[in-house]
Amino acid sequence: MGSPFGITMYARDSLQAATISQRCFSLVDSLVLIFSDYIDSSEVNRLCATAGKPGQYFIVSPALFELLEISLQAYRLSERSFDITLGPLSRLWRRARKEKQWPADSTVTAKLQLIGSDKIVLDARTRKVVLLEEYMQLDFGGIAQGYIADQVIRLISSAGITGALVDVSGDIICIGTPPGAAGWNIGINVPDNGEQLLTKTLHIQNKAVTTSGNIYQYMVHDGKKYSHVIDPRTGYGLTSSRNVTVIANDCTTADWLTKACSIMPLKKARKLSKRLQAGFLIAELENGKLKTYSNRLFRNYWKQSAP
């Protein structure tokens, strides 16, 4: 899905590690063929080809149906801040960044009319899916990487490995600890800075953590920086210099919750994180000064780094 993918594991020997890794990468390949909108023949793109066609439905695989159900629940819980139907807009902005061409406001407005996960109909008994609006496009970029990480760590665990970490472009899930360590140490970058880390470090085990920000994917227009994270209310990328880091029990939740908390007001983000038993940190630059907001659960894992 256009992102780096890595596995760290502690096994009995290199043969066991290589065998398990190969199984993991094969699993990743199969899931990418389901969820990626970069691949014309992917399952999600074949589903989108039926959008808005009267009487047409698409019977999807168990994995795609499960992620659709999770995504619709996330849409409701986040009060529409997380929305997988952003595909028309994400493709528009992806092309705009590549071509360095700012789209017309009228184009953004037209794409915005196609958005809304309430236009997806699911039948749990048959796994039939109907997309009600013509030209709808689904974009799982804000949740599928976390879902894939969850499936991979589950496979690693079932193979008898007790210490491992899966990293999908910064969407991280781990089990156990490295040998002789109390946990996995995870650094968090300063907003707008890919090299500098915050002075505190996360120490986790059997948890997932992910950070969403605008370091690498953004666009500048009229002196303002627009993130690749799109606000479903406006159709434009976020303009705040804000990083959101979430700790959750699974990487799927951590993945979509970072996007939702990037958009939601702080009070609502705090309430939603508490409901999902997730820790969150918002690190934001205001007039060049770093400000952080976190909840108690996050602070339980966030410790001062050793000098």
The dihedral sign for the CA sequence 98, 75, 43, 50: negative
Other CB atoms within 10 Å distance of the CB of residue 166: 27
CA 230 to chain centre: 13
Structure tokens belonging to residue 297: 């659960």
Question: How far lies 99's CA from each of 93, 106, 303, in Å?
Answer: 10, 18, 42
Span between the terminal Cα atoms of the chain, in Å: 37
The b/e string for 115-137 (b: 16+ C-beta within 10 A; e otherwise) is: bbbeebeeeeeebebbbebeebb
Phi and psi, residue 276, nearest 5° = -95, 5
Question: Nearest to residue 273, comparing CAs of 292, 291, 298?
Answer: 298
Place of tokens 């190969």: 22
Confirm whether residue 194 is marked as ligand binding.
no
**What is the number of alpha carbons within 13 Å of residue 296 lying toward its C-beta?**
3
Taking the C-alpha atoms of residue 69 and residue 61, their distance in angstroms, rounded to an integer, is: 12
Residues linked to residue 280 through DSSP beta bridges, in sequence order: 246
Angle between the N-to-C axes of helices 266-275 and 251-263, in degrees from 0 to 180, rounded to the nearest 10: 160
| Annotated binding residue 223 | no
Q: Is 78 in contact with 143 (CB distance < 8 Å)?
A: no
List, as residue ranges, the binding site for Mg(2+).
Answer: 142, 255
List, as residue ranges, the binding site.
Answer: 142, 255
